Chains A and B, each alone.
Chain A
Amino acid sequence: MAEGWCAAAVAGRLLSELGARVIKVEPPEGDRLRRQPPNVADGTSPTFQNLNANKESIVLDADNKVLLELISKADILLTDQTTLDDREITLNDDELEGLNPRLVACHFSPFGRSGALAGQPGGELIAQAMGGVIATTGHPGELPHRAGPPLASHNAALLGGAAILSALYDRENSGQGSIIDMSLYDASVSLLYTFLPAYFLSGNTPGPMGNKHMMVAPWDNYPTKDGWAIVCIANDRQWQDFLRLMGRAELIEDSRFAENDQRVLEDIRPLVDGLVVEFLSDKTTDEAIRLLRDHNVPAGPIYDVPTLIKDPQFLDREMVHTFGDAIAGGSLTAGSIFKMSETPGRVHSPAPLLNQHADIELEPPS
């Protein structure tokens, strides 16, 4: 029960890659992603196809009988609060346990099912806004930005997946199902481990730092002769390697910035950034990255998405999957992130047509 590009729908896709049979319960007009531009055609869209590969589709009837029947026979129920609110469906715990005491239900919501904000609406943007992601993304002195990709939803989907599979594992021992309360707020605050300590220690509120790292320097994207290079000098050994590469080995002993704890200081950081800028000023991005990597200094280019989906590393890992022409627009979907020697994640079937699996017959749950 999850429309749009939301945590519950992402979790469904992830579970399907691991072998679960995932049935998408859609409203009569279809999931809203089917109508989301670009390139909507024939009752679907490339974005819908992308997220919902591997799944089956059944349409919700007026009195929700189909849904309740599915719940009574399922191992796992995934819900999205926005979707339930939109369709005015309530599924209370007693009802679920009555229908299927072995059910593992995972309710995804922006703020969870307990506490002062329980039930408040929101999606990816609001989760990022309340969860501290926006406030820490962007450049100092400017309006902060959301993480472009749906960080909060995908992180909650992964954590929800771990919670679901754990509950399912426990069910084999206890015989009991479980009702999981996975909030995007909790999942997003879980990401703040570099920022919260700084606040708790100093009382100062860390804000966006562009591409710098609060606790490590030098670390940024720096200009080269023909573009940018990311350089991340994570420790003192890499700093020393960098200085040798630069031909400035005499600075290794310089007591102003020999240690990372010094290099991150407000008045020292510009000095060490300046050395990196100086090193890169007469090199192209490619030259610079090759040299830095050859000397064990972490560095890399900035790729756009069209470059990513042709990147040899990404393709070698089978992270781009294309379904044939049969589907409107031909469509790309991500491969499975679960690279496992015995049970590798699989992308096996294109997304369903609306109500393609109306005649579904389900065995009672295991």
Chain B
Amino acid sequence: MSAPLEGIRVVELGAYTTGPLCARYLSNLGAEIIKVEPLKGESMRTFAYKIGDVSYIFHVHNVNKKSVPIDTNTKDGKAVLFELLRTADVLIENFAYGSMKKWGLDYDTIKAVNPALIYCSLSGFGHSGPDRHLRAFDTVIQGMAGVMSQTGTADGPPTKIGISAADNMGAAAGAMAITAALHHKRRTGRGQHINISMHDIMGWLTSECWALVGTESGPRRNGNQHFAVAPQNVFAAMDGLVAIEIETQKQLDSLCAMFTIDHIALEDSKAHETDIESCLQSWAAGRTADETVAGCLANNVPASRVQGIDNVAENPFSWERDILVTLQHPESGPVKVLGSPFKSNRSSGVVSSAAPAIGQHTKEVLGDILGYSDEQIEKLAADDVIAIADEPSSA
């Protein structure tokens, strides 16, 4: 078993979610991640919901990483960062447009340091267009990209997707773009600048319904239904909610057989939606959720529970799939974090170490990779250019 990105070195200059999560995905694929953070630590460390004095989300986003705090505003700090970047394949940053330039870390500057470096910028609106300067947060982007207008019910307000969809998918898109750029780098020896816009991605996400623009109803909020295929909805069983979803003609035929309904063509299914849904609702109303799901599945009709967060967290399947895993943290003990979504016959995804303490890997990285002497490292730390974690007492 070997992870596909073993040997790829990524420097992360990230904060909060999109950059750190993008780097974490690459770490799950085997890349080495060096998290260059401010001397006092990355901003997410102090976010709400803490284990000890570190935010739980920080623990989730930063597994597998090496922490090397550098004050990149100092001349010496910048020199250390540039030396690291000369050895790296990828740089990920997710600061507001213009910040990296202000700090003297923009693509043109870094390209001169290492022309083969893949420099990935993840930002709210990307590095071009009239809105590129806007401060962007997930809900603002979901609102401006049409996502909220498509979520909720027709007679209710526009509603955001509960999870931070823009932050999340920006990270996944960055991971895909970076892995594509690695191929180009190997073929040509050239790096490049990737600029991913969370707004582009949220707008792209709405494209399934673009065919409705200009039609009588137009794109609208459909509750739990689909705009073109039925039935797809959530039904109340005696003790919980059940999702029932028809996608194909064969599945619709199975459903019709189950309720002795005459043949319906999939493309006409919306016209029969009310009737079919009332059959399903009265059927579910007399059963438990588990019985409803089992009954549907036995008749080749796709169905599932609607899992709450508690169900996801407690379902043995989540642990069996290793999408939830427990890591040992040297101070906090066992911490439950997200596992790797990347599984193959050659690698089950890397989840190897808990999130680092500030400066936990400074000596290792500067010593082993850059060849700095202990004396040099101590001097840089004394000058507040870098930070080094306290030695663990047990070591």
- Where the two chains meet, the residues of A that have a C-beta atom closer than 8 Å to any C-beta of B are 3-5, 14, 18, 32, 35-40, 45-47, 50-51, 82, 86, 93, 111-112, 114-117, 120-126, 128-139, 142-151, 154-155, 158-159, 161-163, 165-170, 172, 174, 176, 178-183, 185-187, 189-201, 205-211, 213, 215-216, 219, 221, 228, 230, 232, 234, 260-261, 264, 293, 296-309, 311-314, 316-317, 319, 329, 331-335, 337-343
The interface residues of chain B lying within 8 Å CB-to-CB of A195 are: 162-163, 309
Q: Is the CB of A134 within 8 A of B196?
A: no
B305 at the interface (CB under 8 A from A): yes
The interface residues of chain B lying within 8 Å CB-to-CB of A168 are: 183
Which A residue sits closest to B249, measured CB to CB? A32
Q: For residues 297 through 354 of chain B, which have their beta carbon under 8 Å from a beta carbon of chain A?
A: 297, 300, 302-313, 316-318, 320-321, 323-324, 336, 338-339, 341-346
Interface of B (DSSP majority class): mixed
| Set B134, B307, B336, B342: member contacting A132, Cβ < 8 A | B307
Which B residue sits closest to A203, measured CB to CB? B310
Interface residues on B, range: 35 or more
Which A residue sits closest to B213, measured CB to CB? A306
B245 at the interface (CB under 8 A from A): yes
The interface residues of chain A lying within 8 Å CB-to-CB of B201 are: 337
Residue contacts A-B, CB under 8 angstroms, 15 given: A35-B266, A39-B215, A129-B307, A144-B234, A192-B312, A193-B338, A196-B313, A200-B56, A219-B139, A296-B135, A300-B143, A304-B149, A317-B128, A332-B207, A333-B207
Given contacts A117-B317, A191-B168, contact A201 B125 (CB under 8 A): no
The interface residues of chain A lying within 8 Å CB-to-CB of B4 are: 163, 166-167, 169-170, 178
Q: For residues 204 through 230 of chain B, which have their beta carbon under 8 Å from a beta carbon of chain A?
A: 204-215, 218-219, 221-224, 226, 228-229
Q: Is the CB of A162 within 8 A of B267?
A: no
| Set A124, A207, A341: member contacting B192, Cβ < 8 A | A341
B148 at the interface (CB under 8 A from A): yes
The interface residues of chain A lying within 8 Å CB-to-CB of B345 are: 93, 178-179
Which A residue sits closest to B302, measured CB to CB? A121
Q: Is the CB of A189 within 8 A of B312?
A: yes
The interface residues of chain A lying within 8 Å CB-to-CB of B339 are: 186
Given contacts A36-B229, A186-B343, A230-B139, contact A194 B211 (CB under 8 A): no
B41 at the interface (CB under 8 A from A): no
Q: Is the CB of A149 within 8 A of B149?
A: no
The interface residues of chain A lying within 8 Å CB-to-CB of B140 are: 230, 232, 298-300
Q: Which 10 residue pairs across A and B have the least CB separation, nearest first?
A: A148-B150, A136-B162, A197-B56, A165-B179, A129-B243, A170-B4, A46-B211, A158-B172, A342-B192, A300-B140
B157 at the interface (CB under 8 A from A): yes
B158 at the interface (CB under 8 A from A): yes
The interface residues of chain A lying within 8 Å CB-to-CB of B5 are: 166, 169-170
Given contacts A165-B182, A319-B200, contact A199 B309 (CB under 8 A): yes
| Set A46, A137, A185, A313: member contacting B161, Cβ < 8 A | A137
Q: Is the CB of A138 within 8 A of B211?
A: no
B270 to chain A, nearest CB (A): 7
| Set A4, A161, A167, A190: member contacting B341, Cβ < 8 A | A190
| Set B144, B243, B270, B321: member contacting A301, Cβ < 8 A | B144
Which A residue sits closest to B205, measured CB to CB? A149
| Set A45, A146, A333: member contacting B224, Cβ < 8 A | A146
Query: A3, A35, A45, A162 — which one has the most chain B CB atoms within 10 A of its CB?
Result: A162
Taken together as a complex, chains A and B put the C-alpha atoms of A149 and B161 apart, in Å, by 9
B272 at the interface (CB under 8 A from A): no
Taken together as a complex, chains A and B put the C-alpha atoms of A12 and B345 apart, in Å, by 21
The interface residues of chain A lying within 8 Å CB-to-CB of B215 are: 38-39
| Set B126, B180, B184, B266: member contacting A317, Cβ < 8 A | B126
The interface residues of chain B lying within 8 Å CB-to-CB of A14 are: 176
Q: Is the CB of A39 within 8 A of B211?
A: yes
Given contacts A123-B302, A232-B137, A334-B207, contact A116 B56 (CB under 8 A): no
Q: Is the CB of B206 within 8 A of A305?
A: yes
B100 at the interface (CB under 8 A from A): no
Taken together as a complex, chains A and B put the C-alpha atoms of A264 and B287 apart, in Å, by 39
Q: Is the CB of A230 within 8 A of B207?
A: no
Q: Is the CB of B203 within 8 A of A308?
A: yes
Taken together as a complex, chains A and B put the C-alpha atoms of A135 and B57 apart, in Å, by 20
